[in-house]
Structure 1
């Protein structure tokens, strides 16, 4: 006696599931993504520090040219002493 499978010949349920997941994955394509390394972030921060430094230098230059810049001799002496004490 021979039993024929009527209606189920050539049907692989795993293949249908695979095709379904592939269709869903094709519909949800990933967009482009950019990652900035830690070193690049540090370079960006250094550039902003450089701009701030240049602004400060320009302000000091203006004060010196107009004669408004005053040097605190005590602060200069203290910084010099600290520098030479820490050299040892």
Structure 2
């Protein structure tokens, strides 16, 4: 006696899950959407950000020309303040 299709080799266990996913996409459900207000966009380009960009550009120029000097006292003070919570 010969039995064909014995076992689970003919079954795709993910087929049912994929069918549900495809049906959910076809059903016309809306997806999440994010809109950023004009005020929020203005806040993204604040004066603080512009000043930070200018400082970074200045530091890049100093590093490229070999003029950047590390101040170990300021670094130590910053580390100390960080761990003291100031």
User: Which of the five TM-score ranges fits, normalised by the shorter chain?
Assistant: 0.3 to 0.5
TM-score scaled to structure 1, two decimals?
A: 0.44
Higher Cα Rg, which structure: 1
> Which structure is higher in helix share?
1
